[in-house]
Chains A and B, each alone.
Chain A
Amino acid sequence: MTRHHPDEAQLASYAGGSLAEAPALLVATHLALCPACRRQVAEYEALGGALLDHLEPAELAAGSLESTLARLDRPEPATAAPRRAAAMPAAGLPLLPEPLRGYVGGPGRLAWRRGMTGLKYARLEAAGAEARLLRVPAGRAIPRHRHGGQEMVMVLEGGYHDGDLAFGPGDVQTSGPEIEHCPVADPDGECLCLVVVKGGFRLGGWLGRLVKLLGY
């Protein structure tokens, strides 16, 4: 069971389509691990569907149905297929849930670099913000730091503590730029995380604002 979730504004923006790709990748991967958040997102999507039902219909272009019908038998362009990866772990990684697995790709796709104090990280190609996988050796602290913008972290394997808070697989921590913290990997094994940093944090969408104002 996950204990720490994306905040409701993030779930709502994901459902409404206004969350940038990198944080959306993190949220969607959390959803794979968290039935409770899947349900929340389904509710926001149902609200979208209900609103759609109530919209005043727009006028269609002449021959709209006919030209759509004419397209039905054309083969689907290859790029339209969703990015999916075989259910095989990439080298040295646990079996990651989709959609993250598709972003990581097959064995050898990740270029791991060494960071400070024994950390290793690998960038993922995800537009909108910087997304990377981070491996922290058992018991190692990430030196006290602040972020330029917002940071979201999700544990994929192992765990860490940030003060009194414990984070395990599927748990999400969101920290604003004002937060200075010093997370420490749990002593019983390496901690693998997905980290998304600032840049593409477009929580300015309608739902983000709405939900924040409403204080959910």
Chain B
Amino acid sequence: VPDEPPEALIERVARGADRTAFAALFRLFAPRLKAYLIRLGCDAASAEELMQDSMVMVWRRAASFDRSRAGAATWLFTIARNKRVDALRHERRPELDPNDPALVPAPAGSAEEAIQAEQRGRRLAAALGNLPAEQASLIRLAYFEDRSQRDIAAETHLPLGTVKSRLRMALARLRRALQEGER
């Protein structure tokens, strides 16, 4: 099914170990996950390996996907992030267990918030798409390449003050987009 949303593909993998759905997810996300890992400093070979490891985790953990908690891109991002932390630091990333009996639940009435989680990702993605190109590329540099604002300024040949103000504007716009959607 060509236009099936990725959330539905993950759910098909969870329900029926559906290899067609998995292959579709792979085509959608594997090249971007690899790009993400390269941006974090992995060479092409280890980015490929970590990407494949992450996609195998997608297969194994599909049943834990919950579109009320996170959209597909966000969920895949967290899987690749954790793989990289485990692999590069030889550390295990301490993770919250959402089913822990000792967990303090969100107060009643915030169930609606949870339903919005998937839309939150979409809204952010849309807001990111609407950012002026120079702001979007700075956010990407800061998030994915773990660069300091000083490094970014040096690389982009922009004054540090300009980098700071553009990042500030970009983040403020993203926040506003989230808040508007929640009203």
Contacts and interface: CB of A to CB of B under 8 A. Distances in A.
B contact residues, range: 35 or more
B27 A65 contact: yes
Q: Provide the main secondary structure of the chain B interface.
A: helix
Interface in A35-83: 35, 38-39, 42-43, 45-61, 64-65, 67-69, 71-72, 76, 82-83
Interface string A77-112: 000001110010000000111110101000000000
Interface string B27-51: 1011111111011000011011001
A34 B104 contact: yes
A214 B70 contact: no
Interface in B127-179: 127-129, 136, 139-140, 142-149, 164, 167-168, 171, 174, 178
Interface residues of A, number: 65
A209 interface: yes
Residue from A72, A84, A95, A103 having most chain B Cβ neighbours under 10 A = A72
A183 interface: no
B23 A65 contact: yes
Interface of B: 19, 22-23, 26-27, 29-36, 38-39, 44-45, 47-48, 51-52, 55-56, 59-60, 69-78, 81-82, 84-85, 89-97, 100-107, 110, 113, 117, 120-121, 124-125, 127-129, 136, 139-140, 142-149, 164, 167-168, 171, 174, 178
